[in-house]
Structure 1
Amino acid sequence: MIHTITKLSVRDVRFPTSLDQHGSDAMHTDPDYSAAYVVIDTDNGLKGYGLTFTVGRGTEIVVCAVHALSGLIVGKSLEDIIRDFRGFYRTLTSDGQMRWIGPEKGVIHLATAAVLNAVWDLWARTEGKPLWKLLVDMDPKQIISCIDFRYITDALTEQEALDILMKAQEGKQQREGQMLEEGYPAYTTSCAWLGYSDQQLKKLCTDALASGWTRFKVKVGADLQDDKRRCSLIRQMIGPTNTLMIDANQRWDVGEAITWTSSLAEYKPLWIEEPTCPDDILGHATISKALAPLGIGVATGEQCHNRVMFKQFLQASALQFVQIDSCRLGSVNENLAVLLMAHKFQVPVCPHAGGVGLCELVQHLILFDYISVSANLDNRMCEYVDHLHEHFTSPVVIRNAHYMTPKDPGYSCEMFESSVQAHQYPEGETWKKLLKK
């Protein structure tokens, strides 16, 4: 059956998380978890759902960018897209005029992710499979055909990528069975947002420990003495053997990052996340080298523009943990490239998932990484935040601090229509009430 795309709609959906300081960090003090939410219709009634994550103001700009891209997809058949997915990816990212406002970064790339996430969701639904299973079942050559290798062949060639996928065929069935039974290890960020009081932090940490969590991330970067107090509090609560990570969300200059993080070394963090400007590859390399003797790695990637920047981070030994994002990069296609490069450079992937819908999406990618690429769980875990899952028709399932494998067909990012209508900005009922105040 041919599935011709007849319509693309996009809506600005925002959740007022800033009211309770959910998501707050050293640079984003009042985030409203939001999404440019895309629905693509086909001529036979099947729909695909996609989104890209934002933190409130500015979402309307991403919506405009999605509208600008819609003419490149409406009228296409899903089958034609799949037949030359690399070519279609380039159609969206290399339009002769629109690429000028990227290329492959910023608002236009966020919009590209939303559109392509919806295409992948539609493809998985046509196959009756969750996205991770669609990817795992693909022939390695078909996986390769979805990836744009332009600009990265000096780090990873098509043949090298194919060799990685072919080698991972061994034991793949056993790893899939393991994931179906045990799930993928997760860590929590929900206990220690920067705006939370110590009392709230203690309660959330106590509850998380009782639920089996052993890996915790703390937001830092606004005030050193406050960071020391909060890290000490968390470390005392979780004990010496559980894992602690810290996240500065781009707050510091390079020298400041080294000094500040060194002051927190006594709390034994596994990594410092986004210690400086996300575009400063050489700065991250300097920080990585300085912190290595302290046993602290550098993690980054949630605001890394594209596969080319990830290539340079890896080439420069500028990060010890790769944090892919399902909505910052150009959807599944570009994330596949980064997963394969990370494997070649032997750097573990620990995805970013702090935002509405990101847990739902990225769980599929990390399952594919373990089953079909890395075959390795050493120092690997996927972020989890306990916010807003109730708005999705196929929400994540966490059991014993593990992501359980999704069962429903698609990419898990369909929202309930009632939630979309209530939180659409500014005309949804939630916002009508708030904006009146």
Structure 2
Amino acid sequence: MIESIEARDIRFPTSRESHGSDAMNPDPDYSCAYATLKMRGGDPDGNGLTFTIGRGTDLCVAAIHGLGKHLIGRSLDEFEADLGLASRLLLNDSQYRWLGPEKGVVHLAAAALNNAVWDALAKRAGKPLWRYVADLSPEQLVSAIDFRHIADFLSKEEALARLTAQAPGKAARIERLLSEGYPAYTTSAGWIGYTDDQIVSLLKNAYAEGWRHFKIKVGGDLATDVRRCALFRETLGKDVKLSVDANQVWNIDQAVAAIKAIAPYDIYWVEEPTSPDDVLGHKEIARQVAPIQLATGEHAHNKVMFKQFLQAEAIGFCQIDSCRLAGVNEVIAVMLMADKAGIPVCPHAGGVGLCEYVQHLSMIDYICISGTMEGRVIEHAAHLHQHFRNPIEIRDGRYLAPLAPGYSVDLWPQSMADHEFPNGKVWAEDPVAG
């Protein structure tokens, strides 16, 4: 039974070396609001986080404390018997809902708590989360989803039929996943604050490590964008994939012009070319720059936004975020909709714990929903993994399936103590922090 909930403001000073920098966010301090469900009665504690980039993490912590009251006194048996219960408790408080609804700080907080419930369930079962979900029946998975605002696109009956159709092949897909891992791409060489020399060195090192799909940041100015794309091709040639990420900085006309200017460098996808809320803007950009495809979703705050992107045929890649959406339940709903639309799910990662999270989600998509890894990749960024008890494992540009029980986001106690804001050692020594 959940006896209490802890929430902590954990921040890492990544801005000092421009790690994570992009055109919209030049100085992020990768951070998280970290929630722990403290259990009594012998069940394992559940940990969950929501990703932030510094200031405002304290707001998420406050929201975790507020929403978390709905979970106190509940047992894992209750949550396992009704896989949608935690999500309903967290999203249906009418007064907190007014602050969203289903978006913003309250939704980020709900994600941390919902993910912590799933973490505890998987730990109790002695399974990594991807395997815990893979072992659920189609009926159990469907019971986790709220179809209220998406049934016009995907009904409960259709979702059940899709999951049931994939069920016979699950065992073979699990075996393949354990043998081969899951394909990935790396963003670590392309942050916008890096110099050309840094980029070239990092690209060469990443290629030597087995990476064959890369992403670089664009959107500073057009001449620089073109130069960076040219530099990439000069360094690695034509036989590797290049995606770019503009992080929302362009308007429609600017996006079209910029994408056409870099098109000669064989761009695999263009990510977040404009406002993440502008469904019709994405549709218009996609029309004008085809066959280059657009990717978005890391700031699509709920399943209804994804429904609209998919209905409008505005994106070529669906980039779910593990804690922008309200946890595992909502992610599964979006992955099912993307599968119906024939759009590959390629999650947003990087950050603090996002790589650890989304490896599970892509593996769930492969085993239970889409049944394929074709055209699908998980983002990778080589930052901060040392702070986790069970960090991701990469081999030859692929994620190896995690085997430790849970959702992979248990932070080391010393890392939390050192980086807790504002009194942890890292921040107490920095007079301008925050």
Counterpart among 4, 10, 28 of residue 13 in structure 1: 10
1:355 aligns with 2:351: yes
> What is the CA-CA distance between 1:96 and the residue it aligns to?
1.5
Partner SS, residue 167 of structure 2: coil
Answer yes or no: is the 8 Å Cα contact 1:113–1:328 preserved in 2. yes
Q: Where do residues 5-404 of structure 1 align in structure 2 (5 Å cutoff)?
A: 5-45=2-42, 46-292=44-290, 295-404=291-400
Answer yes or no: is the 8 Å Cα contact 2:186–2:381 preserved in 1. yes
Number of residues paired by the alignment? 432
Write the deviation string for residues 107-147 of structure 1: whole angstroms up to 9, x where unpaired.
00000000111111000001000000001111110001111
Letter in 1 for 2:268: L
Alpha-carbon RMSD across the aligned residues, in angstroms, is 1.0
Letter in 1 for 2:363: L
Write the deviation string for residues 10-34 of structure 1: whole angstroms up to 9, x where unpaired.
0000000000000000000000000
Q: CA–CA distance in 2 between the matches of 1:257 and 1:44?
A: 56
> What is the CA-CA distance between 1:66 and the residue it aligns to?
0.6
TM-score of the two chains, using structure 2 as the length reference: 0.98
Answer yes or no: is the 8 Å Cα contact 2:219–2:246 preserved in 1. yes
Q: CA–CA distance in 1 between the matches of 2:94 and 2:351?
A: 32
Write the deviation string for residues 225-247 of structure 1: whole angstroms up to 9, x where unpaired.
11111111111222112100000
Q: Which moved more, 1:162-171 or 1:113-122?
A: 162-171
Displaced runs of 4+ in structure 1, greater than 6 A? none
Q: CA–CA distance in 2 between the matches of 1:84 and 1:19?
A: 45
Answer yes or no: is the 8 Å Cα contact 2:51–2:323 preserved in 1. yes
Q: CA–CA distance in 2 between the matches of 1:11 and 1:266?
A: 47
Letter in 1 for 2:33: A
Partner SS, residue 264 of structure 1: helix
Write the deviation string for residues 401-421 of structure 1: whole angstroms up to 9, x where unpaired.
100000000000000000000
Q: CA–CA distance in 1 between the matches of 2:90 and 2:185?
A: 34
Answer yes or no: is the 8 Å Cα contact 1:214–1:238 preserved in 2. no
Q: CA–CA distance in 2 between the matches of 1:347 and 1:436?
A: 44
Letter in 1 for 2:11: R
Write the deviation string for residues 166-211 of structure 1: whole angstroms up to 9, x where unpaired.
1111322111111101100000000010000111101100000101
Answer yes or no: is the 8 Å Cα contact 1:38–1:118 preserved in 2. yes
Answer yes or no: is the 8 Å Cα contact 1:257–1:276 preserved in 2. yes
Gaps of 5+ in 2: none
Gaps of 5+ in 1: none
Letter in 2 for 1:157: S
Letter in 2 for 1:204: L
Letter in 1 for 2:31: S
TM-score of the two chains, using structure 1 as the length reference: 0.98
> What is the CA-CA distance between 1:436 and the residue it aligns to?
6.7
Answer yes or no: is the 8 Å Cα contact 1:94–1:103 preserved in 2. no
Q: CA–CA distance in 1 between the matches of 2:170 and 2:97?
A: 38
> What is the CA-CA distance between 1:69 and the residue it aligns to?
0.5
Q: CA–CA distance in 2 between the matches of 1:427 and 1:105?
A: 29
Percent identity for Structure 1 against Structure 2: 50
Letter in 2 for 1:268: D
1:418 aligns with 2:414: yes
Letter in 2 for 1:37: Y
Letter in 1 for 2:183: P
Counterpart among 401, 407, 422 of residue 403 in structure 2: 407
Q: CA–CA distance in 1 between the matches of 2:169 and 2:98?
A: 44
